[in-house]
Amino acid sequence: MARIRSLGGSNYYGAAISAAAGAGWWILDGLELTDNAPPTSTIQWLLDFSESTTHDLTVQRCYIHQKESGTNYNRTVQRAIDFEGRGLTAKWNYIYVIGYYYPEVAGGSTTTQMDSTAFLCVGCSTMLIEDNYISTWWNNIFLGGGDTAP
* pLDDT per residue as tens digits for the range 85-140: 999 999 999 999 987 777 777 777 777 788 889 999 988 889 999 999 999 988 89
Give 40-65 pLDDT, tens digit per residue.
Answer: 778 889 999 999 999 999 999 999 99
Q: Which helix (H) or strand (E) holds 126?
A: strand 125-130
Which stretches of the chain are assigned E, i.e. beta strand? 2-6, 12-13, 17-18, 27-29, 31-35, 42-43, 47-49, 55-60, 63-65, 79-83, 86-91, 94-97, 100-101, 112-113, 117-121, 125-130, 133-136, 139-143
- Model pTM greater than 0.85? yes
- CB-based burial of residue 72 (10 Å sphere; 0-12 exposed, 13-18 middle, 19+ buried)? exposed
Q: Where are the domains of the chain?
A: 2-143
